[in-house]
Structure 1
């Protein structure tokens, strides 16, 4: 049986890994180990030559697998297929958050982002999946007419003994009722 070309096989095996990461965004250790350790190791065993050195084959195949994964991610982030592709911004920001991390380490992130808005307009892509918006008229369009709802963090803010408090009310109806009651007292 003919062995597959290790370069082509390792590079093409990294594409399903990227698609899986893109769709499911796994963060649990077993899936990460499966995708980032077991998959390239399996590819190395499938591509290994019978008389070849296993360690050399493993290092080569894993390197190709990771290079293919990185190239796939980077090309997707700057391609027109990305959901935020229509928003302008520096290529370094579209590719990774590392550039903004470098800028913020100097303590001048606000100056840099202001310069980006001066150059690109009110909406700027400042990360692979992040926008910076400095137009207050867009707040309603982004958050909706009722603003951003309170998250589950607010459930723990209840004062013992009270069923509903004004600041912790996540439901708009409960908030309105609590507000009316506190106004009467």
Structure 2
């Protein structure tokens, strides 16, 4: 049976979002908690540069925002709250219930970073006025790394949940690049401890 086709009839084909499936499904960086902890501690916190960069890069790809991931990674203390808000908003959009106090975690991280930066800037003054300045700086470093690790880990777990992978199973294996950074970090830590013991500053 012949049927006439009206050329003005809209197409019946379903129109889909043009975003890639992986970007739509994972608007944030996904990583397992054990892998995150090892990389953060082993690299003495430098992992957070890659961490922030990748989060903002994924968000830019998935949402099409005009943002620069590199500055947001280098000056993370100015953008931590913004990242936490986006994760919280995505959880709400995807109807994922989670209690994780995003603004508190971001604030604690920023305060600890300010203390760390402030001590580095005031280092000459501390050395000149305090005979045990090295001890104070070392204890501050000991405190900052684990506290920041906990804060960012809580944010990461929320990001994993927002991406539909709460356990981070899609990124739980260590790559050769991960192992290389771990080796560099462990070597730097070992050298610092050796130097401190040798000079009596540890």
Normalising by the residue count of structure 2, what TM-score does the alignment of the two structures yield? 0.27
Which structure shows the higher strand fraction?
A: 1
> Structure 1-normalised TM-score?
0.28
Of the two, which has the highest radius of gyration? 1
Give the number of the structure with larger relative contact order, counting CA–CA contacts within 8 Å between residues 6 or more apart.
2
